[in-house]
Amino acid sequence: MAVPATPWQPGMRITIGRLAAKDYQAGTVNVSFTNLTSYQQNVTFPEAFPVAPIMNAEIASGAGVTGRFEVRPISVTPTGFTLFILLTDTAEGPDTWASIPVHWVARMPT
């Protein structure tokens, strides 16, 4: 993301940097924890954004107990965020995850 993507403006020059520019980044975090009802993991963006991006995160697995959990990004900054995972049905008690993939997408605000 060396050159941030920008909406096309009349008179702009086409450059290799502009053609390759993206206004988003995405990744996957493998999450593991033992006997917990909530968990937090810090994630650093591959490249810093100029401002805090808009975020989304999703559990990329239906294995085991993952269906009873929710995931969301919190404390978003231009350089990263904290992945917050919580059990939505606490009556079931703590659970364990082993390398469960969580996908995230961050994009520049419009």
Query: Coil, helix or strand for 5?
Result: coil
> What is the rounded average pLDDT of the residues 54-81?
94
Using 50, 70 and 90 to split pLDDT, how confident is the model at 58? very high
Surface-to-core class of residue 52, CB atoms within 10 Å of its CB (0-12 exposed, 13-18 middle, 19+ buried): middle
Give, in degrees to the nearest 5, the angle at Cα 17 between 14 and 20.
100
Report the predicted TM-score, pTM, of the whole model to 2 decimal places. 0.80
Of 76 and 18, which is predicted with more confidence? 76
Using one digit for the tens of pLDDT, what is the confidence trace for 90-109? 787 899 999 999 999 999 88
Question: Given 3.40.50.2000, 2.60.40.2080, 3.40.1380.20, 2.60.120.430, which CATH number is that of 23-107?
Answer: 2.60.40.2080
Q: Confidence class of residue 2 from pLDDT cuts 50, 70 and 90?
A: very low
Distance CA 74, CA 78 (A): 12
